Amino acid sequence: MRLIAMSAETHEAQGGAMEAAIAWHVQMPAMDAARWADLVAWLEAAPEHQAAFDRVAAADRLLAEAPVLRQRSGEKVPAPPMRVRRGWWRAGAGVVLAASLAGVALWTVLPRDRQPTTFATAAGKMQTVRLAEGTAIVLNGDTRLARGDGERSVRLDGGEALFAVRHRADAPFTVEAGRYRIVDVGTVFNVRRDAGRLMVSVSEGSVMVDPDGARLALHAGEGLTIDEASGLATRWKAASVGGWRNGELDFDRATLADVVAAFHRRNGAEIRLEGGLSALPFTGNVRLSGETARDVEHLARLVGVDCRREGEIWVLSPSKVRS
């Protein structure tokens, strides 16, 4: 990882901001939370950094295979034509190839009035969005995000997203999730909303959850789960924040239904649970290989249940073999 982390800075020393921007885009699919913070700092360091970064993102859109933020249910919308130099096209193509292998789409940074107002990903697909004010957001699969009323506000309608916030003391970045609001205090944090629960975990800095009500502060390494119906909040240790981007799924006092939902978001796997398995307790770590069959069968062995396939659906059921 450290070799990758050095690549953008090394490219800048050798070839300037444009080479560094290309290097940043290449490594984005594998960046950890600390590296996202480094990217935000690099973008803020000089105007030419952001300009170069935007040009790389614009070149990426030339490939028709790259999904765009407006797509729904796998539909691809062609990008508008753009004139580029031949040498730049080769570099841009390499960037898109690296990103598409990880299922990530890169969006050109546009003025607020030209940016889409909603973002949606299909199960098994990720998207990286950078808002005009500088915040970077990585959407997991099966996620719906919308712009809020203000320039530094978004609404998570469902799914999961990792936020690397460009902090401004005079205008905190906020995430609305149902009736709850999350306000950054200069940080990298993850938000997941599904099955009537809101889960927030912090990698760096701090956030304030429900600032107008319970005022629950979270710091690096801490997580919080809120039952949206009852308002009951439970704290937990966040061992890995945003690890899903690299196929690392961590669960603490979760259920098998939670694990199946995480599989679906990350790789698009359709899994049905039978015989009351949805409520089966699960705590631990699962690393996805990228091969759905292998991952689902590994999960079945891990929890000691039977696994079969019915067309495109995987079915997990209580084991017929009793010890």
**How many Å is the Cα radius of gyration of the chain?**
20
How far apart (Å, rounded) are the C-alpha atoms in residues 49 and 57? Answer: 12
Q: Which residues pair with 226 in a beta bridge?
A: 198, 233
Residues of the chain with pLDDT under 50: 1-7, 9-15, 60-112, 114, 323
Q: What's the sign of the alpha-carbon dihedral 285, 37, 43, 165?
A: positive
Write the DSSP symbol of residue 29: G
Three-state SS at 309? strand
Instruction: Record the tokens describing residue 194, joined without a space.
Output: 């599904």
* Terminal alpha carbon distance of the chain: 43
Instruction: Give the pLDDT confidence score for residue 31 in this predicted structure.
Output: 66
Q: What HEC string does 234-282 produce? A: EEEECCCCCHHHHCEEEEEEEEHHHHHHHHHHHHCCEEEECCCHHHCEE
Tell the residue number behind the tokens 């699960």, with chain if given: 282
Tell the residue number behind the tokens 């690890």, with chain if given: 243
Instruction: Give the pLDDT confidence score for residue 265 in this predicted structure.
Output: 93
Q: Chain centroid to CA 49: how far? A: 23
Instruction: Give the pLDDT confidence score for residue 214 in this predicted structure.
Output: 84
In DSSP notation, 152-183 reads TEEEEEEEEEEEE----TTS--EEEETTEEEE
How far apart (Å, rounded) are the C-alpha atoms in residues 123 and 143? Answer: 8
Q: Which residues pair with 305 in a beta bridge?
A: 318
* Tens of pLDDT, residues 9-25: 444 443 477 777 777 76
Q: Which residues pair with 106 in a beta bridge?
A: 128
The one-letter amino acid at 112: R
CA distances from 23 to 5, 31, 323 (A): 10, 12, 54
How far apart (Å, rounded) are the C-alpha atoms in residues 289 and 298? Answer: 10
Write the DSSP symbol of residue 80: P
How far apart (Å, rounded) are the C-alpha atoms in residues 108 and 300? Answer: 41
Q: Which residues pair with 316 in a beta bridge?
A: 273, 307
Instruction: Give the pLDDT confidence score for residue 107 in this predicted structure.
Output: 38
On the 0-12 / 13-18 / 19+ scale of CB atoms within 10 A, 320 is exposed
- Report yes or no: 128 and 104 within 8 Å, Cβ to Cβ: yes
How far apart (Å, rounded) are the C-alpha atoms in residues 152 and 168? Answer: 10
Domains of the chain listed by start with CATH number: 1-102 (no CATH), 110-244 (2.60.120.1440), 247-318 (3.55.50.30)
